[in-house]
Amino acid sequence: MATFIVLLGPPGVGKGTQAKILAETTKLAHVSSGDLFRENLKNQTELGKLAKSYMDKGELVPDDVTISMIRDRLFRPDCEAGAILDGFPRTPAQAEALEKMLADFNGKVDYVPFITAPEEVLVERASGRWTCRSQGHIYHQKFNPPQKAGICDIDGSELYQRDDDKAETVTNRIKVYFQQTMPLVEYYRQKGVLVEIDGSQPVEQVTEELLSALKK
Ligand code: AMP
Protein backbone atom coordinates (compact mmCIF):
# COMPACT_ATOMS: atom_id res chain seq x y z
CA MET A 1 0.00 0.00 0.00
CA ALA A 2 1.21 3.51 -0.81
CA THR A 3 2.59 5.74 1.97
CA PHE A 4 1.70 9.43 2.20
CA ILE A 5 3.48 11.82 4.54
CA VAL A 6 2.32 15.42 5.02
CA LEU A 7 4.92 17.86 6.33
CA LEU A 8 3.10 20.49 8.33
CA GLY A 9 4.62 23.67 9.71
CA PRO A 10 5.05 27.41 9.22
CA PRO A 11 6.97 29.03 6.35
CA GLY A 12 10.72 28.99 6.95
CA VAL A 13 10.69 26.08 9.40
CA GLY A 14 12.63 23.81 7.02
CA LYS A 15 9.86 21.70 5.41
CA GLY A 16 11.43 21.95 1.96
CA THR A 17 14.91 20.97 3.17
CA GLN A 18 13.58 18.03 5.19
CA ALA A 19 11.20 16.94 2.42
CA LYS A 20 14.08 16.62 -0.04
CA ILE A 21 16.14 14.55 2.44
CA LEU A 22 13.14 12.35 3.36
CA ALA A 23 12.25 11.78 -0.30
CA GLU A 24 15.80 10.61 -1.00
CA THR A 25 15.87 8.34 2.04
CA THR A 26 12.44 6.81 1.59
CA LYS A 27 12.46 6.85 -2.25
CA LEU A 28 8.99 8.40 -2.15
CA ALA A 29 8.16 11.26 -4.55
CA HIS A 30 8.61 14.82 -3.26
CA VAL A 31 5.47 16.84 -4.02
CA SER A 32 5.90 20.53 -3.17
CA SER A 33 2.99 22.83 -4.02
CA GLY A 34 5.27 25.90 -3.81
CA ASP A 35 7.78 24.30 -6.25
CA LEU A 36 4.95 23.41 -8.64
CA PHE A 37 3.69 27.01 -8.59
CA ARG A 38 7.25 28.32 -9.13
CA GLU A 39 7.71 25.91 -12.05
CA ASN A 40 4.50 27.25 -13.60
CA LEU A 41 5.72 30.79 -13.02
CA LYS A 42 9.04 30.03 -14.73
CA ASN A 43 7.19 28.52 -17.71
CA GLN A 44 4.76 31.46 -17.75
CA THR A 45 1.67 29.25 -17.79
CA GLU A 46 -1.78 30.68 -17.03
CA LEU A 47 -1.65 28.92 -13.65
CA GLY A 48 1.74 30.50 -12.96
CA LYS A 49 0.44 33.99 -13.79
CA LEU A 50 -2.58 33.50 -11.54
CA ALA A 51 -0.49 32.09 -8.67
CA LYS A 52 2.03 34.95 -8.85
CA SER A 53 -0.54 37.55 -7.83
CA TYR A 54 -1.15 35.65 -4.58
CA MET A 55 2.42 34.50 -3.94
CA ASP A 56 3.82 38.03 -4.21
CA LYS A 57 1.57 39.13 -1.37
CA GLY A 58 2.22 36.03 0.73
CA GLU A 59 -1.43 34.97 0.34
CA LEU A 60 -2.69 31.48 -0.48
CA VAL A 61 -3.60 30.57 -4.05
CA PRO A 62 -7.33 29.64 -4.20
CA ASP A 63 -8.20 26.09 -3.14
CA ASP A 64 -9.78 24.92 -6.42
CA VAL A 65 -6.72 25.54 -8.61
CA THR A 66 -4.31 24.31 -5.93
CA ILE A 67 -6.25 21.09 -5.40
CA SER A 68 -6.48 20.31 -9.10
CA MET A 69 -2.73 20.97 -9.56
CA ILE A 70 -1.92 18.50 -6.75
CA ARG A 71 -4.38 15.93 -8.06
CA ASP A 72 -2.62 15.98 -11.45
CA ARG A 73 0.75 15.62 -9.72
CA LEU A 74 -0.34 12.69 -7.54
CA PHE A 75 -1.56 10.79 -10.56
CA ARG A 76 1.92 10.77 -12.11
CA PRO A 77 3.59 7.33 -12.01
CA ASP A 78 6.33 8.33 -9.55
CA CYS A 79 3.66 8.69 -6.82
CA GLU A 80 2.47 5.10 -7.10
CA ALA A 81 4.36 4.08 -3.94
CA GLY A 82 3.33 7.29 -2.17
CA ALA A 83 4.68 10.80 -1.62
CA ILE A 84 6.09 13.35 0.78
CA LEU A 85 3.71 16.31 0.60
CA ASP A 86 5.41 19.62 1.32
CA GLY A 87 3.24 22.76 1.56
CA PHE A 88 -0.02 20.95 0.82
CA PRO A 89 -2.61 20.83 2.36
CA ARG A 90 -2.69 24.34 3.80
CA THR A 91 -6.44 24.73 4.47
CA PRO A 92 -9.14 22.42 5.86
CA ALA A 93 -10.78 22.25 2.39
CA GLN A 94 -7.46 21.07 0.91
CA ALA A 95 -7.07 18.45 3.66
CA GLU A 96 -10.52 17.05 2.92
CA ALA A 97 -9.85 17.04 -0.82
CA LEU A 98 -6.57 15.21 -0.19
CA GLU A 99 -8.34 12.52 1.79
CA LYS A 100 -10.72 11.90 -1.12
CA MET A 101 -7.87 11.86 -3.65
CA LEU A 102 -5.87 9.34 -1.62
CA ALA A 103 -8.87 7.05 -1.32
CA ASP A 104 -8.48 6.59 -5.11
CA PHE A 105 -5.03 5.15 -4.39
CA ASN A 106 -6.40 2.99 -1.63
CA GLY A 107 -4.29 5.17 0.63
CA LYS A 108 -4.53 7.75 3.40
CA VAL A 109 -2.35 10.29 5.19
CA ASP A 110 -0.16 7.97 7.26
CA TYR A 111 2.05 10.35 9.13
CA VAL A 112 2.11 14.12 9.73
CA PRO A 113 5.31 15.56 11.20
CA PHE A 114 4.37 18.98 12.55
CA ILE A 115 7.61 20.99 12.55
CA THR A 116 7.60 24.12 14.70
CA ALA A 117 9.93 26.97 15.66
CA PRO A 118 9.54 30.41 17.26
CA GLU A 119 8.54 33.22 14.88
CA GLU A 120 11.92 35.02 15.01
CA VAL A 121 13.65 31.82 13.86
CA LEU A 122 11.21 31.54 10.94
CA VAL A 123 11.84 35.09 9.73
CA GLU A 124 15.61 34.64 9.98
CA ARG A 125 15.48 31.28 8.16
CA ALA A 126 13.26 32.49 5.32
CA SER A 127 14.92 35.85 4.80
CA GLY A 128 18.42 34.28 4.62
CA ARG A 129 17.31 31.53 2.26
CA TRP A 130 18.80 31.05 -1.22
CA THR A 131 17.07 28.74 -3.67
CA CYS A 132 18.53 26.97 -6.70
CA ARG A 133 17.06 28.12 -10.00
CA SER A 134 16.88 24.73 -11.70
CA GLN A 135 15.66 22.29 -9.04
CA GLY A 136 14.86 24.31 -5.94
CA HIS A 137 17.71 23.02 -3.73
CA ILE A 138 17.76 25.12 -0.57
CA TYR A 139 20.63 26.96 1.19
CA HIS A 140 20.92 29.52 3.95
CA GLN A 141 23.54 32.26 4.00
CA LYS A 142 24.38 31.54 7.65
CA PHE A 143 23.16 28.04 8.58
CA ASN A 144 23.78 26.12 5.37
CA PRO A 145 25.89 28.18 2.94
CA PRO A 146 26.85 26.77 -0.49
CA GLN A 147 30.53 25.98 -1.05
CA LYS A 148 30.74 28.71 -3.71
CA ALA A 149 28.65 31.85 -3.15
CA GLY A 150 25.64 32.06 -5.46
CA ILE A 151 26.09 28.57 -6.97
CA CYS A 152 24.20 25.35 -6.12
CA ASP A 153 26.57 22.63 -4.80
CA ILE A 154 24.41 19.90 -6.32
CA ASP A 155 23.75 21.02 -9.89
CA GLY A 156 25.87 24.18 -10.37
CA SER A 157 22.91 26.41 -11.20
CA GLU A 158 22.41 29.96 -9.99
CA LEU A 159 21.01 30.63 -6.50
CA TYR A 160 18.39 33.36 -6.09
CA GLN A 161 16.34 34.87 -3.29
CA ARG A 162 12.60 34.15 -3.69
CA ASP A 163 10.55 37.36 -3.96
CA ASP A 164 8.30 36.10 -1.19
CA ASP A 165 11.27 35.52 1.15
CA LYS A 166 11.68 39.29 1.67
CA ALA A 167 11.09 40.05 5.39
CA GLU A 168 7.79 41.92 4.83
CA THR A 169 6.19 39.12 2.81
CA VAL A 170 7.52 36.45 5.20
CA THR A 171 5.68 38.18 8.06
CA ASN A 172 2.43 38.03 6.10
CA ARG A 173 3.00 34.38 5.13
CA ILE A 174 3.41 33.53 8.82
CA LYS A 175 0.18 35.42 9.65
CA VAL A 176 -1.68 33.56 6.88
CA TYR A 177 -0.27 30.29 8.22
CA PHE A 178 -1.67 30.97 11.71
CA GLN A 179 -5.07 31.93 10.33
CA GLN A 180 -5.59 29.29 7.65
CA THR A 181 -3.24 26.37 8.20
CA MET A 182 -3.10 26.00 12.00
CA PRO A 183 -6.54 24.29 12.15
CA LEU A 184 -4.92 21.34 10.36
CA VAL A 185 -2.82 20.61 13.45
CA GLU A 186 -5.97 19.66 15.39
CA TYR A 187 -7.46 17.93 12.34
CA TYR A 188 -4.47 15.57 12.07
CA ARG A 189 -3.99 15.26 15.84
CA GLN A 190 -7.52 13.90 16.10
CA LYS A 191 -6.75 11.37 13.41
CA GLY A 192 -3.81 10.18 15.54
CA VAL A 193 -1.16 10.77 12.87
CA LEU A 194 0.48 13.98 14.15
CA VAL A 195 4.04 13.95 15.53
CA GLU A 196 5.54 17.19 16.85
CA ILE A 197 9.14 17.94 15.91
CA ASP A 198 11.27 20.85 17.16
CA GLY A 199 12.36 22.60 13.96
CA SER A 200 14.67 25.07 15.67
CA GLN A 201 17.34 22.34 15.96
CA PRO A 202 20.09 21.93 13.32
CA VAL A 203 19.01 20.27 10.03
CA GLU A 204 20.66 16.89 10.84
CA GLN A 205 18.94 16.61 14.20
CA VAL A 206 15.52 17.40 12.74
CA THR A 207 16.11 14.72 10.09
CA GLU A 208 17.11 12.22 12.77
CA GLU A 209 13.90 12.85 14.74
CA LEU A 210 11.79 12.61 11.59
CA LEU A 211 13.33 9.32 10.57
CA SER A 212 13.08 7.75 14.02
CA ALA A 213 9.40 8.77 14.26
CA LEU A 214 8.86 7.27 10.78
CA LYS A 215 10.40 3.95 11.81
CA LYS A 216 7.96 3.67 14.72
P1 AMP B 1 6.02 27.58 -0.26
O2 AMP B 1 7.11 27.35 -1.23
O3 AMP B 1 5.41 26.33 0.27
O4 AMP B 1 6.45 28.52 0.85
O5 AMP B 1 4.83 28.33 -1.05
C6 AMP B 1 5.05 29.58 -1.66
C7 AMP B 1 3.69 30.22 -1.97
O8 AMP B 1 2.97 29.40 -2.90
C9 AMP B 1 2.75 30.39 -0.80
O10 AMP B 1 3.00 31.56 -0.04
C11 AMP B 1 1.40 30.47 -1.51
O12 AMP B 1 1.19 31.72 -2.14
C13 AMP B 1 1.57 29.42 -2.62
N14 AMP B 1 1.17 28.08 -2.13
C15 AMP B 1 1.98 27.01 -1.92
N16 AMP B 1 1.29 25.95 -1.49
C17 AMP B 1 0.01 26.35 -1.40
C18 AMP B 1 -1.21 25.73 -0.99
N19 AMP B 1 -1.23 24.45 -0.56
N20 AMP B 1 -2.37 26.45 -1.04
C21 AMP B 1 -2.37 27.71 -1.46
N22 AMP B 1 -1.26 28.39 -1.85
C23 AMP B 1 -0.07 27.72 -1.82
Per residue in 95-134, pLDDT (tens digit) is 999 999 999 878 999 999 999 999 999 999 888 999 999 9
173 given a catalytic annotation? yes
Per residue in 178-192, pLDDT (tens digit) is 999 999 999 999 999
Q: What is the C-alpha to C-alpha distance for residues 71 and 206, in angstroms, rounded to an integer?
A: 29
Exposure pattern of 92-116 as b/e (b: 16+ CB <10 Å)? eebbebbeebbeebebebebbbbbb
Cα of 64 to ligand 1 centre, how many Å? 13
Atom of ligand 1 nearest to the CA of 54: 12
Does residue 60 contact residue 90 with C-beta atoms inside 8 Å? yes
15 given a catalytic annotation? yes
Q: Which residues line ligand 1 (CB under 6 A)?
A: 11, 33-34, 37, 54-55, 58-61, 66, 87-88, 90, 94, 164, 173
Closest alpha carbon to 194 in 5, 11, 14 = 5
pTM of the predicted model as reported, rounded to 2 decimal places: 0.93
Of 108, 133, 162, 189, the catalytic one is 162
